A and B are shown apart, each in its own frame.
Chain A
């Protein structure tokens, strides 16, 4: 049957039937949502998704910060090795230092080599031993900092072999420390990813419960739609649209909150913290700077959460619709 034209016979001969007036001008409006907008479950769910998104973003941001700082430290540390010369009875420290320096300079890939003064070495120990201590009384090892002009060309084994001729000289490539750093940052990244997964699972569960609740409380609507022949796909689509909307709005709010959080914390750590505290924090978190790629990753969480919400609710609605029939 065609639906393009009216079946109302306008020239009806029955005088009791009023002729239709000209159709009133239609208010042009967006087609209304079949699922009511202002259901309480919707607002609660939106808040919940906002919180979940915020937590996901914070976790992800933390992972990014740790990862970035670890890479930065690792490459910084990798551009320098240290030769340690321990004082040994009967050995002349100064000549040992000079000999070590020239051995180092002969190795390919090595840039500037600098013998650190006694005072500089002492300064490094200050945090542990406190200031104002006469270090000359202690026989502490002296350090030679060896900058690498080309870390790939540099052969650490060759240098430490050559250094074997000098008593008390050892090479420290910080490799143990770097390994530890990598292990630690790896653990933190893994933990972060795990937490992220748990948050996503919790979000899915919450959406399943909320969807079932919404379906149950909108049962009359579902029934009426079924009576007028709406397919399950149509009904699921209507509910999915609502949930996509809720998911995206909640997600956007949570994501915006997280971005704001990182900006504020970054600004505070850069400008307001006393320099010492600031530098300690920034040593750990690289001045809380996520960078553009980090921010982009955070923003990507929003459509992921929105899509996940929509998909979960669609599957839940489908199940509900086949169960009630």
Chain B
């Protein structure tokens, strides 16, 4: 599903913050990506989202060399990837409902067809009564749940989540992890970047640890 072949990344003329990345991620697997702050977790997720190009090496996704994709093909591939950003990136002028529905809308679905699914998912993440509120009025945890709902609504083949439980209480963070696990059971490949040790203990899954720019799979 995902294959990194000797990938390195640097920003501009800076030092390589990621290097010698060679690994494969099997379809339907569940991974935690950990490492200290500044280790490059977000950067690695951006590579996976195809929003950054590696400065060296090749990334193959869905059987295609991502370096050779046209912009349209790249955007098309993103529809199979769900992403939860560390800073959420919700659109402030849309309601929570509209934000979560955005991926479906972008795929050309009609509101009448997706309204119930979106409402159900929002209710499930505990935002049922905040559906028509705009993001600036949501708490940090509520925004995070909205961002997660947006990432999973289109049932992506790959889910990338950057610190998805950073702003919620332990109880909710366990629930959200179960949501990811459930999604994983239906076939979605899940990669969660986190530095919360406690999360990792609940889930006996392989860990990808970044340190000194290199990746170790434990």
Interface residues of A (CB under 8 A from B): 1, 3-9, 12, 14, 16-18, 20-21, 23-24, 26-27, 31-32, 34, 36, 220-221, 223-232, 234, 322, 325
Which positions in B face A, CB cutoff 8 Å? Answer: 49, 51, 71-72, 75-81, 83, 85, 89, 91, 93-95, 98, 102-107, 109, 111, 113-117, 119-121, 123-124, 126, 128-129, 131-132, 150, 152, 154-155, 157, 171, 174-175, 178-179, 182-183, 186-187
- Interface pair B79/A229, CB less than 8 Å apart: yes
Across the interface, B132 reaches (CB within 8 A) one of A27, A31, A34, A322, namely A27
Name the one of B76, B124, B131 contacting A229, with C-beta atoms under 8 angstroms. Answer: B76
A16–B152 CA distance with the chains assembled, in angstroms: 20
Question: When A32-B95, A34-B94, A224-B91 are in contact, do A24 and B123 touch as well, CB less than 8 Å?
Answer: yes
Residue on B nearest A235 in the bound complex, by CB: B106
Q: How far is the CB of A234 from chain B (nearest CB, A)?
A: 6
Q: 9 closest pairs, A vs B, by CB?
A: A229-B79, A229-B78, A23-B119, A230-B106, A36-B93, A1-B155, A228-B103, A20-B124, A26-B115
Cross-interface CB contact of B71 among A32, A220, A232, cutoff 8 Å: A232
Which B residue's beta carbon lies closest to that of A19? B124
A42 to chain B, nearest CB (A): 13
Structural contact, B124 and A220, CB atoms closer than 8 A: no
CB of B51 within 8 A of CB of A322, answer no
Given contacts A31-B111, A226-B75, A232-B72, contact A24 B119 (CB under 8 A): yes
Indicate if the CB atoms of B83 and A227 lie closer than 8 Å.
yes
A31 to B118, CA, bound (A): 14
A14-B178 contact in complex given A23-B116, A36-B93, A220-B89, C-beta closer than 8 Å? yes
Given contacts A20-B123, A36-B93, contact A228 B128 (CB under 8 A): no
Inter-subunit contact A16/B106 (CB<8 Å): no
CA distance A18 to B152 in the complex (A): 18
- A231 engages B182 (CB within 8 Å): no
Q: Check if B49 sits within 8 Å of A227, measured CB to CB.
A: yes
Instruction: Find B178's partner among A17, A223, A225, A230 (CB 8 Å cutoff).
Output: A17
B182 touches A7 (CB 8 A): yes
Tell whether, in the assembled complex, residue A8 and residue B119 are in contact, meaning their CB atoms are under 8 Å apart.
Answer: no
Whole-angstrom distance from the CB of B17 to the nearest CB of chain A?
Answer: 21
- Is the CB–CB distance between A229 and B106 below 8 Å? yes
Q: Known contacts A7-B183, A7-B186, A221-B91: does B119 contact A228 (CB below 8 Å)? A: no
Q: Is the CB of A31 within 8 A of B105?
A: yes
Classify the secondary structure of B's interface with A. helix
Query: In the complex, what residues of A have CB within 8 A of residue B106's CB?
Result: 225, 228-231, 234
CA distance A220 to B152 in the complex (A): 21
- Which residue from chain A places its CB closest to the CB of B174 in the assembled complex? A16
* A226–B93 touching, CB < 8 Å: no
What are 15 sample pairs from A and B whose C-beta atoms fall under 8 A apart?
A3-B154, A7-B183, A8-B121, A12-B178, A12-B182, A18-B124, A24-B131, A27-B132, A31-B105, A32-B94, A32-B98, A220-B91, A228-B78, A228-B106, A231-B106
Contacts of B49 in A (CB 8 A): 227
CA distance A223 to B105 in the complex (A): 16
CB atoms of B75 and A231 under 8 A apart: yes
Contact status of A21 and B123, CB under 8 A, knowing A224-B89, A227-B83 = yes
Chain B nearest CB from A239 CB (Å) reads 14
Q: Is B94 a contact of A20 with CB atoms below 8 Å?
A: no
Known: A1-B155, A224-B91. A231 touches B117 (CB 8 A): no
Residues in B neighbouring A220, C-beta threshold 8 A: 89, 91
CA distance A26 to B107 in the complex (A): 21
Q: How far is the CA of A8 from the CA of B155 in the complex (A)?
A: 10
Contact B175 A17 (CB under 8 A): yes
CA distance A234 to B109 in the complex (A): 12
A1 touching B157, Cβ below 8 Å = yes
Which A residues touch B175, using CB under 8 A? 16-18
A3→B155 contact, CB < 8 A: yes
Query: Which residues of chain A are near B111, meaning CB under 8 Å?
Result: 31
